[in-house]
Chains A and B, each alone.
Chain A
């Protein structure tokens, strides 16, 4: 009797255990990553928000007074915040489309058959693979008004009459940095779009050719819809990265001349790290995070849709 009932009891108990294990397993496997993210991303985020509500200057460590929204009110009345915001808008609205366009053209070219194509595909990634500081220093020398190749080249072509101090002139400094960032970031778009291009079946093009579609119409009706998903995701991701990045600006001009190349992340960094005013710097960072949240929400919605 006992022998007969035991297996029966086991088969009765097993399914709930397996079901429980199946429910717990994903959480167990995800938890290390979630815990690390909580510790190194969410905790500092909460800490930043908390600091932004206090008067906290690093060299007065014993003073940590609650000031409510004072830092935010001061920031909104600060001329430099609005200058930085305007530069951030220009910075994002020109850098990302320029990177996208250059990346698209590069991907279309790399998708053609030509000798040494694998080598070209490998070389194109170099600007993306180089550290930002190296890129910034390299371009500082390219733009140098005494020795830079940019001026030398333009002078020899007769396009300018005298050397231009690209990074020392407030009218050209931001544009010069945008060009640098465009060069640095376009390979990301090129690689992403190239992957998208390769997923479009060749039969679509063959059918379109038989129907007499011109190359332009093929691009418009087959290629573009085929890579639009990749492009939107890449643009959203890159928007977040470009908006947050200030390392290249910091190395190339430090925000100068004057405030000519100040962007919001740089302004927050200078206030917190150089002036040691962590309360005010945190308030600027929180304001910028709220602005950027709009893009993040669009991205998350899109990712969620793709998953479902």
Chain B
């Protein structure tokens, strides 16, 4: 009897030990628009290099990515690692959903190989490091060189020049009394805050947290409203236009300028060939502001095997793998070695990105930014464009959100 009990206990212990050393599975969430999804190839390479770790990667649609991520975290079904943007970090930290990666970063031999400052740019609001950069972009101005040449226009470097160029480019090309080309494709729906910010936040002393209700801040928003209402240089659908609409209209020749990043460059070249180029956004109110578009990966605090999750995310940000990852997303690698050998984009778009880097900025690292991006800005901007509220009221609403 005693022998049987001892054998039984030994079996249970052996089973437990076996389970403790069983293979790990890393559940990873990401969002790719590109149909040529390279994730399977990256996973295969990772699993070969890390026997015992299996990666289950799930491509979650972008429109509901954060809704689903927050809900999964609260519901106790969060992934072990996920792709994340800086604007979501304050909320995720507040939720206690992220695991600090400082110690792993300190002992990781590839940390020094990342682009300068990128790690610092995505530092957590409490001073810890949670995010590991995986790709980046900087927004710049797309324009049609053929249309500019036809009208004898120079690429605008200031807001005043931009306005004059946009007015000249807005025209009826076939004489049927209808406007066929608009000067600028403005993104009035969710995600368009970067367009607005380029016209408003360049002014001295104006930021989302300070000076937005000053004369200069209100003048910036009024400038955007006037472009639509008085000058009519945006397509009439601008208040509702999103990413697909502004890119589609530019490719179709319906607009002569718009703002986006290098991620859309290859698609633009495919549609327009040499008739598309890029330049930094114009200087408005005495300064320039453009958005630094970040994307990182993070280990969730609820990860079953955090070390395996770290191995996977650091794999994505290491030389070679990071290039493969960015070939699919069309954005820029964060690894210096991959950047040096980067040939995916035509040089003029890489140059516009590099030229824009000195004044590229991120949105405030606070919990309010998610509301600003998702609801406050789109609703207020649409109301200004349609004449429902004034530029002053819009800026006051945003300032109130940030406690101004």
Contacts and interface: CB of A to CB of B under 8 A. Distances in A.
A170 B386 contact: yes
A256 B190 CA distance: 10
Contact of A257 (B67, B371, B385): B385
Interface in A27-43: none
Given A59-B70, A59-B91, A60-B94, A256 B237 contact: no
A256 B189 contact: yes
Given A144-B237, A165-B236, A257 B70 contact: no
Taking chain B's interface residues, is the majority helix, strand, or loop, or is none over half, making it mixed? helix
Given A59-B91, A254-B189, A259 B379 contact: yes
A58 B70 contact: yes
Interface stretch (A6-14, A224-232, A268-276, A295-303): A268-276
Interface in A152-194: 155, 161-165, 167-170
Nearest to A170: B386
A256 B240 contact: yes
B74 interface: yes
B239 interface: yes
A145 interface: yes
B375 interface: yes
A253 B242 CA distance: 11
B385 to A, nearest CB: 7
Interface string B71-96: 10010000000000000000110110
B178 A163 contact: yes
Interface in B168-190: 177-179, 188-190
Interface residues of B, number: 37
A155 B178 CA distance: 10
Interface residues of A, number: 30
Nearest to A144: B237
Contacts of A276: 70, 91
A170 B238 CA distance: 12
B109 to A, nearest CB: 35
Contacts of B249: 146
A58 B367 CA distance: 12
A145 B91 contact: no
B91 A259 contact: no
Interface in B213-263: 235-241, 249, 252, 254
Contact of A61 (B95, B190, B237, B382): B95
A60 B178 contact: no
Nearest to B378: A256
A260 interface: yes
A169 B74 contact: no
Contacts of B235: 145-146, 165
B238 A168 contact: yes
Nearest to A260: B386
B336 interface: no
Interface in B188-207: 188-190
Nearest to A277: B371
B178 A162 contact: yes
Given A258-B386, A274-B67, A275-B371, A168 B240 contact: yes
Nearest to B178: A162
Contacts of B92: 59
Contacts of A162: 177-179
B73 to A, nearest CB: 8
Interface string B95-107: 1000000000000
Nearest to A256: B382
Interface string A217-249: 000000000000000000000000000000000
Instruction: Give the residue among A170, A258, A270 with the most B Cβ atoms within 10 A.
Output: A258
Given A146-B254, A254-B190, A59 B237 contact: no
A168 B236 contact: yes
Contact of B188 (A255, A257, A273): A257
By Cβ-Cβ distance, the 6 closest A-B pairs, closest first, are: A258-B383, A257-B382, A165-B236, A257-B239, A59-B91, A168-B240
Given A144-B237, A145-B237, A165-B239, 19 more contacts: A58-B71, A59-B91, A59-B94, A61-B74, A145-B236, A155-B178, A161-B177, A162-B177, A165-B236, A168-B386, A170-B388, A253-B240, A256-B379, A257-B240, A258-B239, A258-B380, A258-B386, A259-B388, A274-B375
Interface of B: 67, 70-71, 74, 91-92, 94-95, 177-179, 188-190, 235-241, 249, 252, 254, 367, 371, 374-375, 378-380, 382-383, 385-386, 388-389
21 contacts: A58-B74, A59-B94, A145-B236, A145-B237, A164-B236, A165-B237, A168-B237, A253-B240, A254-B378, A255-B379, A256-B239, A256-B378, A256-B382, A257-B240, A257-B385, A258-B379, A258-B382, A260-B382, A274-B67, A275-B374, A276-B91
